[in-house]
């Protein structure tokens, strides 16, 4: 009952409860030993849970795939010829990541914190600098390079670690790609262009020249006098002026082939070989 004094145990009750209480007290340290965490040396020896594996950042994965599928080929095709080797132009080499990050005489080429401010990105977009100088790359190539820089310009190790062009000695190999060069193409006779001013074009060559002029909205210069004409021919072909006798002969020749005869004579002259042989 609430408020009553604790009941006193009789001798018989104390005699029976004491062994049970002692057993409980003896068992208590065993329970604590099992449930208490290890400390000190025991903690160092305790097995640790394995740390979760660090996942590769999605941006790095995307950048490496982009490099291997597109960027490596673009850099080698569009840039490595000038910005590679022992003496790259402007001190800039694009054949390794370290060289690309280092930059050249114009400064650091890549700014990974601000990719759009990179000299590399500005150059391929023709903003001030122009790379490659032969002509702006296709938009798809520029987009691939820009995205690669935005992803941190990752550069995987291994066979793609360097884009140094392979050394080639001797004439270019005969293959389908090189055979597309104009000097390997067979000579063809093109169709003579149709021009508006049919009176000006006196020969098929005139038609080709006039076609380009008309496409630009231009007109040919008026014809010059015969004295100026023969002087131009002499200076252009042999680098010497005509003699008074040669001028008079041309002025007196009223045949349709007078001009052609002057040109044929100049091409057959030793002075023609002397003038152009010096180049």
Residues near 168 by beta carbon (within 8 Å), at least 6 away in sequence = none
Instruction: Say how many C-beta atoms besides its own lie within 10 A of residue 88's C-beta.
Output: 18
Cβ atoms 234, 226 nearer than 8 A: no
CB distance 151 to 78 below 8 Å: no
| Per-residue confidence (pLDDT) for residue 26, from 0 to 100 | 41
Q: Are 156 and 64 in contact (CB under 8 A)?
A: yes
Token pair in block for residue 131:
């790379």
Q: What is the pLDDT of residue 78?
A: 85
Residue 87 pLDDT: 84
Classify 104 as helix, strand or coil.
Answer: strand
Q: Quick one: pLDDT at residue 23? A: 45
253 φ, ψ to 5°?
A: -85, 105
pLDDT at position 58: 67
Q: pLDDT under 50 in the chain at which residues? A: 1, 12, 16-40, 43, 50-56, 160
DSSP 239: S
- Written as six digits, the tokens of 138 are 């296709």
Size (the chain), residues = 279
CB count in 10 Å sphere of residue 145: 23
Q: What does the DSSP 8-state code read for residue 71?
A: I
Measured CA distances, 211 to 147, 197, 199, 215, 224 (Å): 44, 9, 13, 6, 21
Show the tokens assigned to 158.
Answer: 């291994």
CB 89 within 8 A of CB 82: yes
- CA 31 vs. chain centroid, Å, equals 71
The CA-based angle 83-89-95, given to 5 degrees, is 20
Q: Which two tokens stand for residue 112?
A: 């990974």
Strand partners for 107? 104
Give a three-class secondary structure readout of 166-217.
CCCCCCCCCCCCHHHCHHHCCCCCCCCCCCCCCCCCCCHHHHHHHHHHHHCC
The pair of structure tokens assigned to 210 is 């006039």
């Amino acid at each position: 009952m609430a408020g009553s004094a604790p009941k006193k145990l009789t001798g018989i009750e104390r005699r029976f409860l004491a062994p049970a209480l002692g057993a409980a007290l003896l068992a208590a340290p065993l329970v604590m030993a099992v449930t208490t965490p290890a400390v000190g040396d025991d903690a160092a020896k305790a097995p640790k849970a394995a740390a979760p594996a660090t996942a590769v950042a999605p941006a790095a994965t995307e950048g490496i795939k982009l490099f291997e599928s597109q960027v490596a080929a673009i850099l080698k095709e569009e840039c490595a010829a000038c910005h590679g080797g022992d003496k790259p132009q402007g001190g800039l080499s694009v054949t390794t990541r370290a060289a690309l990050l280092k930059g050249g005489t114009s400064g650091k080429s890549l700014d990974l914190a601000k990719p759009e401010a990179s000299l590399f990105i500005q150059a391929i977009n023709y903003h001030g600098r122009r790379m490659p100088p032969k002509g702006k790359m296709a938009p798809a190539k520029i987009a691939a390079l820009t995205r690669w820089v935005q992803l941190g310009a990752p550069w995987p190790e291994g066979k793609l670690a360097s884009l140094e062009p392979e050394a080639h000695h001797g004439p270019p190999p005969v293959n389908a790609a090189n055979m597309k060069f104009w000097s390997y193409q067979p000579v063809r006779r093109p169709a003579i262009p149709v021009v508006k001013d049919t009176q000006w074009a006196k020969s098929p060559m005139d038609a080709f020249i006039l076609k380009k002029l008309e496409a630009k909205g231009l007109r040919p210069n008026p014809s010059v006098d015969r004295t100026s004409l023969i002087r131009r021919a002499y200076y252009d072909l042999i680098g010497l002026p005509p003699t008074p006798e040669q001028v008079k002969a041309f002025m007196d020749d009223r045949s349709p082939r007078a001009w052609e005869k002057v040109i044929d004579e100049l091409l057959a002259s030793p002075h023609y070989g002397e003038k152009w042989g010096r180049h």
